[in-house]
Amino acid sequence: MSIAIMCSGGDAPGMNPAVKKFVDYANFNGKTPYFIYNGLEGLINDDIKKASHKDVSGILHKGGSIIGSSRSKRWYEKKYRQIAYENMKKRAIESIIVLGGDGSFRAMDIFCREFDVRFVGIPATIDNDIAGTEYCLGVDTALNVIRDASDKIRDTASTFKRGFVIETMGRECGYLCATSAIACGAELCMIPEVALDLNLAKKILLEEIKNGRNYVLCFIAEGVNKTDCMVEWMEKNLGLETRKSVLGYIQRGGNPTVFERLMAFEFVVRAVDILLRSEKSNVVIGYKEGKFLELDIEDVAGKKYHISRHILDMLNYIG
């Protein structure tokens, strides 16, 4: 049996360590590893190549993905999925490990129900918004990138006695924003999941400014879509000259942390083991309460992720 790996959707730090471990572990088990380059589009375009140790030498420390990634509108037409299957069949590839998010897993679920193909999903997205798992590959590095950037922004904020509104990624999920606000000592945090009481915030912060506070950091999730409004609110209500800093795509890059690399190894070993030693398919590996889980695709695809109550409660004590 040959096994392939691909990345789909947004890139995330930790993908390269996962790709490396995949090649090492597949070879260790006597199976032929293949790379599907450029995600679903590569599967359609027959951009598939046998992988060797040479291909993964020296990639552990790199962000992004050496095998690329993509999103594909063509995938949702049956004729292109048929082409993808034929590309796999001629190489005797029966199983795919997919590093991606909810949309990628749903796309593969459709594929595997139509054809004689098995897949295991590894959650890989800095948004950390996949149902059933507390951790997705990439989020730890992204949090450290945000921490580093916000610490530097704080230096300028305190020097010039300014307010700063720092916008984080996460789409409709506020995990990155909430966790960073707590870890970086922000005074304000706005996420889609919880409404911020601006009247109460104004009362508290004006009192603190009266007693010597000379800068304010506000973290805001991109899904709130009120970054510019918050800049105006801080200037008008707090009397602070305020700037915005949209961190953007730097959050997706960077050297994966030690934790990320180790978790990538763990995810891949479990994924390969499932494909080699059981009849299970269409499953996603999750991580919850310190344990790895095998999640049915129905419990992941299309389900909404909820930030833990513990993190949301901690937002009550920032400032």
DSSP assignment string, 13-51 = TTHHHHHHHHHHHHHHTT-EEEEETTHHHHHHTT-EEE-
Which residues, listed in sequence order, are joined to residue 69 by a DSSP beta bridge? none
Which of 127, 129, 299, 313 is flagged as catalytic? 127
CATH superfamily, region 140-252? Phosphofructokinase domain (3.40.50.460)
By CB atoms closer than 10 A (0-12, 13-18, 19+), residue 224 is buried
pLDDT for the residue 268: 98
pLDDT for the residue 319: 66
Identity at 130, one-letter amino acid code:
I
pLDDT digits (tens, 9 = 90+) for 108-165: 999 999 999 999 999 999 999 999 999 999 999 999 999 999 999 999 999 999 999 9
pLDDT digits (tens, 9 = 90+) for 263-292: 999 999 999 999 998 777 889 999 999 999
237 pLDDT above the threshold of 80? yes
Long-range CB pairs of 86-91 (<8 Å, 24+ gap) are 87/43, 87/44, 87/46, 87/48, 88/4, 88/43, 88/48, 88/117, 91/2, 91/34, 91/48
Helix (H, G, I), strand (E, B) or coil at 94: strand
As a whole number of angstroms, the distance between CA 188 and CA 207 comes to 15
Report the range of poorest mean pLDDT among 9-23, 171-185, 299-313: 299-313
Query: Which of 3.40.50.1100, 2.115.10.20, 3.40.50.450, 3.90.245.10 is the CATH number of 2-138+256-303?
Result: 3.40.50.450
- Interval 309-317 mean pLDDT: 91
Query: Residues near 221 by Cβ (< 8 Å), separated by ≥ 6?
Result: 167, 168, 170, 173, 174, 176, 177, 178, 190, 191, 192
Q: Where are the domains of the chain?
A: 2-138+256-303, 140-252
pLDDT digits (tens, 9 = 90+) for 209-233: 999 999 999 999 999 999 999 999 9
Q: Is 127 a catalytic residue?
A: yes
- Interval 61-84 mean pLDDT: 96
As a whole number of angstroms, the distance between CA 33 and CA 172 comes to 35
